[in-house]
Structure 1
Amino acid sequence: MYDMIIVGGGPSGLTAALYAGRAELKALMIEKAFHGGQMVTTNEVENYPGIIETTGPELAGIMYEQAIRFGTEVKFEEVIKIEDEGDIKKVVTASNMYEAKTILLSMGAKPRKLGLPNEEALAGKGVSYCAICDGGFYKDKTVAVVGGGDTALEDALYLARLAKKVYLIHRRDSFRANKHLQTRVAQSSVEVIWNSGVTKLNAEETLKSIEITNLIENTTQEIPVDGVFIAVGNIPVTELVKGLVDLNEQGYIMTDENCKTNKSGIFAIGDIRQKKLRQIITAAADGAIGVYEAEQYLVEHE
């Protein structure tokens, strides 16, 4: 019987593992693939406090070493089922079943992709899904943002402060974003390309240009860019907990500010929960908060 099981080994899960170990809780972190989550797909990290510059894999490695240093157990298995039996929670993998008093859900979210042939190969080499994370690498360069919601417009405005030229490419003839953002974009230097989608990524070792197809006229044009930021939404990894905890319309786990779900003893941390900003540092903060709240739960239920 564990005090806590952490499901997922991204920055929130790794931070939770560290805090749980230091609190001398009997804790287990289960990760299906590799520690670090989306962080390991980031070539350069410049906005994590205390570390001037590093790579995603390097930071993930440091976090992992810290996590296991204080005794948190780690298993690399895929969780296929989670059961809530009141005071006892069960986590089932393909080969084992584990029991715990509390669970921290930290399976994260994955960016929705365009589905282009070389899109994954160019991630971190001109293709990005996070303007705040990677925008600094494109100072005085030419970039494009793909999307029409709040995130896409916010990304375009943010990048306009850094880049030489920003294109905003949207599949329709109007935005879905809030009116204030639309007004700001209209008053900015951002060039909007309507009724169009990116249909090809042209690259050598890194991205060189994008092919854009007008979806009404069925015409194409090639635009030289140094980077393209894809902001067409994220997909929370919550299939495992549908019916177990409350989700919002987008599929994110609903919590209060202390990472508590609607189920007693079950907490959600990191990108998997409903929140505004999804960054390494905010995920790490959730990990610390989640463990603190789980500790309080354990004390109250002894």
Structure 2
Amino acid sequence: MEKVVILGTGPAGLTAAIYLARANMKPVIIEGSQPGGQLTLTTEVENFPGFVSGIMGPELMDNMRKQAERFGAVFKRGWVTNVDFSKRPYKLQVEGLGELETEALILSTGASAKLLNIPGERVNIGRGVSTCATCDGFFFRGKKVIIIGGGDSAMEEANFLTKFASEVIVVHRRSELRASKIMQERAKDNPKISWQLNKTPIEVLAEEKGVTALKVVNNETNKEEVIPTDGIFVAIGHTPNTAFLNGKIDTDETGYIKVIPGTTETNIPGVFACGDVGDKKYRQAITAAGTGCMAALDAERYLEGSSVHDWSVSL
């Protein structure tokens, strides 16, 4: 039986692993199908503190993993298919590993950005295609970019991108936006934002240097059109990676894990959540790492027999 198991190896899971390993808790970290999380799909990361000249996303994740391993964290490759929270120790069914038992569990499985699944999209992530304006907007200073989506997130990211880009083109497959009225008005009042509505993206066009255009179908004429661009931001939402929990933990209506405010504690004692799996607002590497630290400290306190709430009061 393990003291603590961590699911996920993004910034949240790896930070939790570092803290718990240093506390001699010997954490076991289960890597899923994408070790390192979303940062492994990113090229240069310039907004993570401590790296003056930036660092490549995969390198940052590899460094964090090695740091955890240095203190005794154990990494195993597998895929959790079922959980049993009915009694302690908790049981995890892990494809490739069998059954694991643990006294405490940290959920840091993240959230996956929804993609269009069109030709040229996935292969050009990091080469002009992005799912995070806050992360990558700086790289498009003075350039022309497209943002795909019609909800509040798309409008917010379109406005954000105007701080850097010379022009931001909003492409949406419907003639009307889904965003709230106030978010639409902010975007429409921005002189740097133009509109390509009622057009469905069908292909990302790129050359050796990166993205060059987006091919769309005009839904009114049924004809194909090509919109030249230096970058494409896909803003059609995220899906928290919580399906494997099968409803056995409290989530909101969109699947994000609920935690008690001010902690990482879920409704199941000894089960903690950190990173993007419970955060649909910030979704940054540094905020995920911060909650990973919180989850490790909460789990350590729990394993020592103290309530997370007692700890917060004593502080």
* TM-score normalised by L of structure 1: 0.95
Taking the aligned partners of 1:173 and 1:129, their CA distance within structure 2 comes to 23
What does residue 82 of structure 1 align with?
83
1:245 is the counterpart of 2:249: yes
Q: CA RMSD for the aligned pairs?
A: 1.5
SS at 2:85 equivalent:
strand
Assess, with a 3 A threshold, how the Cα gap between structure 1 residues 34 and 219 changes in structure 2: closer, same or farther: closer
**Shift, 1:186, TM fit:** 1.2
Partner of 2:276: 271
Residue 200 of structure 2 aligns with which residue? 197
Q: Which amino acid aligns with 1:126?
A: G
Aligned pair count reads 302
Against the structure 1 CA distance between its residues 118 and 275, is the aligned structure 2 distance closer, same or farther, given a 3 Å change threshold?
closer
What is the aligned partner in structure 1 of residue 313 from structure 2? Answer: none
Partner of 2:162: 160
Contact 1:45 1:133 in 2 (8 A): yes
Q: What do residues 190-238 of structure 1 show as CA deviations (whole Å, max 9, x unaligned)?
A: 0022111212211112111111222233233211100000001112111
- 1:132 aligned residue (120, 131, 134): 134
218, 239, 246: which one pairs with 1:235? Answer: 239
Q: Which runs of 5+ in 2 are unaligned?
A: 308-315
The one-letter amino acid paired with 1:10 is G
Aligned to 1:56: 57
| Residue of structure 1 equivalent to 2:286 | 281
Q: Which residue of 2 aligns with 1:70?
A: 71
For 2:42, give the aligned amino acid.
T
**CA–CA separation in structure 1 for the residues paired with 2:34 and 2:72:** 19
Q: State TM-score, norm by structure 2.
A: 0.92
Q: Alignment partner of 2:61: what SS?
A: helix
Identical aligned residues as a percent? 39
Partner of 1:18: 18
Counterpart residue identity of residue 202, structure 2: T
User: What are structure 1's unaligned runs of at least 5 residues?
Assistant: none
CA distance in 2, matches of 1:214, 1:34: 35
1:110 match: 112
2:31 is equivalent to residue 31 of structure 1:
yes
Amino acid at match of 2:93: V
Structure 1: how far apart are the matches of 2:171 and 2:135?
Answer: 20
Q: Provide the C-alpha distance between the structure 2 equivalents of 1:255 and 1:65, rounded to a whole number of angstroms.
A: 29
